[in-house]
Amino acid sequence: MKGTDSQPEIVEGCRLPVLLRNGDGWHMAEILGKKDLKGKNLYYIHYEDFNKRLDEWVTEERMDIAKLVQPSKEAKTPKKEGVKSGTESRPSSPEREVVSTPNGSAAPTTGNKKFSSSSRKRKGADDSEIDPLATPTSSRNNTPTLGLQQQNNVALNEDGSKKPRQTGSMVAHHDDIVTRMKNVEMIELGKYRIRPWYFSPYPQELTSLSIVYICEFCLKYVKSKKCLERHIQKCLLRYPPGNEIYRKGNISFFEIDGRKNKAYAQNLCLLAKLFLDHKTLYYDTDPFLFYVMCEQDCKGYHIVGYFSKEKESTEDYNVACILTLPPFQKKGFGKLLIEFSYELSKCEGKTGSPEKPLSDLGLLSYRSYWSQTILEILITMTPSEGNDRPVITINDISEMTSIKKEDVISTLQHLNLINYYKGQYIITLSHEQIDTQNKAMEKRKVRIDPKCLHWQPKDWSKRGKW
């Protein structure tokens, strides 16, 4: 649109107030893109201080053009990176557990304003979050693949040997326009149709479709319902292609080796990227294990969520990336995934922690789990012999839960439980905190039963090449 005397030109990088989808007032937004739909201009906008999952296409009717602010020359909106066939340039970046409307789409609510400030992401190296994903390169058939440019990204020691990774993410933040815009409108996964929240580098020919169809068992993506029906007739999988290491009731966990099952691991990463922000797809799945949680019925094992972890982590991270799919959120499955990751750490005889930094909502999920787990121990403690009060140390709590000491301390501080009294630190619990904890634990109907876990940790350092 060319600017006129009555209306200024609306270009990428412009800022102006936009009416929120639910009609709850106006909020400042940035123009990221523009398209013409049947002669009508649509603008892709990002609400400032809101999570990017709320970004959307809007018409001029919802924009206060009179208050349009042109982009400053000093801070231009990042230019579009070159897009090769079948490959979107590097996706910009969790965790994570995000609020969804019943139909799987996200909508701004008044409640979002409460955490909007923490939705702002720090630029630079600290933008890496908990995800093993990186940019896939393009193959000849325009299908995203991972692992073609590994040598260009590997850090080497002076003697030429490969340096160990410091984190499981290897995430670089590339905040270009292409990857700031959602490119998939809708996916169909099993009986659910879900509106994605973020960019994911699916093949370009799929991103122009109204729906991308995904097989819920092997996670292969196809372009039409008919293609999916034909694929399902041939697909041999009815569960993830790994070892079932846990089953209780209708809940199962499968361990998938990223080296042995590359296609599944890569498809899982692409699916997860639709709901995980501020991360890039990692080029190689070989160094990772994927733990997929499923619900079982007569038709097979249906994916609910997953987490990944490095086979060898120099920082003792027990989770690299974690996600509960939108249809299963707010049902306790997120805590179940976290609880399972710590059960694996207990089997390994280690304390663990999720890869840092966590996203705003990822931190809420973990802090909730840490709080409930630690309070559960404190409340059930009995006075020690010769003492009228229970005695416990930070190390004791860490060993009992496999939660790292630093996370135990930060949780106790967050709950305001540590007090200095007569030359020593004591933990004090109020009746209100105990009541809140008891109510929270009553809601956790499903818990991990260690007796149902059949798993032996492997020493990957002795296995040479994965």
The predicted model gives 49-69 an average pLDDT of: 91
Does residue 56 carry a catalytic annotation?
no
Interhelix angle for 360-380 vs 431-443, to 10°? 110
Question: Which residues, 6 or more positions from 376, have their beta carbon under 8 angstroms from its beta carbon?
Answer: 437, 441
CA 121/CA 444 separation, integer angstroms = 31
Percent of the chain with pLDDT over 70: 74
Supply the pLDDT for residue 226.
Answer: 96
Specify the residue for token string 């013409």: 36
Tokens at 112, concatenated:
């979002």
Residue 351 pLDDT class (50, 70, 90 cuts): very high
Please choose, from the candidates 216, 204, 72, 201, the residue with its C-alpha nearest in 3D space to the C-alpha of residue 146: 201
CA 356/CA 129 separation, integer angstroms = 6
Per residue in 368-413, pLDDT (tens digit) is: 999 999 999 999 988 877 677 888 899 999 999 999 999 999 999 9
φ and ψ at residue 337, rounded to 5 degrees: -60, -45
Please choose, from the candidates 80, 98, 102, 100, the residue with its C-alpha nearest in 3D space to the C-alpha of residue 89: 80
CA 360/CA 124 separation, integer angstroms = 17
Please give, one letter per residue, the 3-state secondary structure of the chain: CCCCCCCCCCCCCCEEEEECCCCCCEEEEEEEEEEEECCEEEEEEEECCCCHHHCEEECHHHECHHHCECCCCCCCCCCCCCCCCCCCCCCCCCCCCCCCCCCCCCCCCCCHHHHCHHHCCCCCHHHCCCCCCCCCEECCCCCEECCCCHHHCCCECCCCCECCCCCCCCCCCCCCHHHHCCCCCCEEECCEEECCCCCCCCCHHHHCCCCEEECCCCCCEECCHHHHHHHHHHCCCCCCCCEEEEEECCEEEEEEECCCCHHHHHHHHHHHHCCCCCCCCCCCCCCEEEEEEEEEECCEEEEEEEEEEECCCCCCEEECEEEECHHHCCCCHHHHHHHHHHHHHHHHCCCEEECCCCCHHHHHHHHHHHHHHHHHHHHHCCCCCCCCCCCCCHHHHHHHHCECHHHHHHHHHHCCCEEEECCEEEECCCHHHHHHHHHHHHHCCCCCCHHHECCCCCCHHHCCCC
CA 295/CA 312 separation, integer angstroms = 29
Bigger pLDDT: 243 vs 77: 243
Supply the pLDDT for residue 137.
Answer: 34
Please report, in angstroms and rounded to a whole number, the separation of the first and last CA atoms in the chain: 54
Tokens at 22, concatenated:
């639910």
Per residue in 138-190, pLDDT (tens digit) is: 333 343 334 322 333 344 444 444 444 444 343 334 456 678 899 999 999 99
**Domains along the chain with CATH numbers:** 1-77 (2.30.30.140), 116-354 (3.40.630.30), 360-452 (1.10.10.10)
Please choose, from the candidates 152, 272, 258, 148, the residue with its C-alpha nearest in 3D space to the C-alpha of residue 201: 272
Ramachandran region of residue 190, left (φ > 0), alpha (ψ -120 to 50) or beta?
left
Report the C-alpha dihedral over residues 432, 445, 276, 239, rounded to 10 degrees: 170
129-156: buried (b, 16+ CB within 10 Å) or exposed (e) per residue?
bbbbbbbbbbeeeebbbbeeeeeeeeee
Q: Which of 88, 355, 385, 442 is catalytic?
A: 355
Supply the pLDDT for residue 319.
Answer: 94
Specify the residue for token string 């029906």: 229
CA 432/CA 430 separation, integer angstroms = 5
Residue 248 pLDDT class (50, 70, 90 cuts): very high
CA 63/CA 22 separation, integer angstroms = 14
The predicted model gives 421-449 an average pLDDT of: 90
Residue 419 pLDDT class (50, 70, 90 cuts): confident
Bigger pLDDT: 359 vs 63: 63
Arithmetic mean of pLDDT over the chain: 79
